[in-house]
Amino acid sequence: MQLPRSALIILAAAAVSLGACAADSEAAPQGSATDSQNDEPSESRAADGSLAYEDVGDLRTDFTAAGGSCPAYTPDNAVTLASESANCSDTTVLMLFDDQGQKAEQMETLTQMGTDILVGQNWLINSPPETLREVQGDLGGEFVEGELPDVDFAPESPPATAEDSTEVLRDSPELQEMALDVAWGQSSSADQAALCDAFEGMGTAVASEWFLLEAGGSDSGFTSDVIGAYFENKCGL
C-alpha cells in the first residue's frame, strides 16, 4: 500500500521549507503553447482581484492567460477546505472557496508552512513567487509571503544544509504535526480513508513505521511517535 502522492509531496516540501537554505530550484515553465492555445481570458477579469470565480477551470484560463503555466491541469478537488481545486504541477495549485472562513484557514495553513500565495475574492493560488508576481499584474489579488512560525527550539540562524533542516524537523513535534496537517488537507477523502484503514488494520505502532518509511525513513526528520499520535487522533483510533 502506497502513501498518497499528494501527501508525499507535502511531506517532502516541509523538510525543504524548514531548511531555509535558499537551495536552487527550477522555476515552472511560463506560458507554454499548450497552456494558452485555446484559452481566452475572462471578459470580466478584474485587475484588483475582486472577480469571484464559479469554476476552477475559469481561474486556470485566466492564470495561463496572465503568464502562468498549467501543464498538467488536474481538477481533482484534493484540497478539502476548498469548494473546487486543481493541480497544475507539483508547485502550483488553484483553489476556489464558497466560505471565507475556510479560505482564511487554508491561507493560514499554507503561509505557516512557508508557502507563498496569491489571494483573490474567493480564490487562492500557491505557486513559486516569481510566477505569482507575474500573474498578479493581470489577475490582481494580494501577494502573501509564507513565513515559518518562530519556535523556541529554532537555531539562531537558518539551517544551512538539508541535514540541518531534518534535525530541526525531528526536534519539533509541532512542525511535524503542521506538515502532517497540510498533507492530510491536500489528500482526497479516499486517500484519507485508506490511511485510516491502514492504521486501524496494522495497528498504530506498525503503521507509524510504515508511514515513516514511505515519508523517507529516518532521513525525513519525522518520528514514529508523532505520526502515531497524529493518526490516532485524526482517525479516532
Is residue 219 pLDDT above 60, yes or no? yes
Average pLDDT over residues 130-150: 89
Q: Beta-strand (E) ranges in the chain? A: 84-89, 92-96, 117-119, 123-126, 142-144
Check residue 163 and give its pLDDT: 63
**Residue corresponding to grid cell 486543481:** 86
pLDDT tens digits, 26-79 = 333 333 333 434 445 444 444 456 789 999 999 999 999 999 999 999 999 999
Inform me whether the pLDDT recorded for 18 exceeds 90.
no
Residue 6 is predicted with a pLDDT of 44
* pLDDT value for 158: 55
Other Cβ atoms less than 10 A from the Cβ of 178: the count is: 18
Average pLDDT over residues 196-205: 88
Mean pLDDT of 151-161: 53
- The single-letter DSSP state of residue 148 is P
Instruction: State whether residue 96 is helix, strand or coil.
Output: strand
In percent, how much of the chain has pLDDT > 70?
72
- The average pLDDT across 16-35 equals 37
CB 60 within 8 A of CB 131: no
Read off the pLDDT of residues 79-102 as tens digits, 9 standing for 90 and up: 999 999 999 998 999 999 999 999
Those residues whose C-beta lies under 8 Å from the C-beta of residue 163, and which sit 6 or more positions away, are none
Q: What pTM was estimated for this model as a whole? A: 0.50
pLDDT at res. 85:
96
Q: What is the pLDDT of residue 8?
A: 45
Radius of gyration (C-alpha) of the chain in whole angstroms: 18
In terms of DSSP bridges, do strands 123-126 and 117-119 run parallel, antiparallel, or are they unpaired?
antiparallel
Provide the residue ranges of all domains of the chain, joining segments of one domain with +. Answer: 5-13+150-235, 29-144
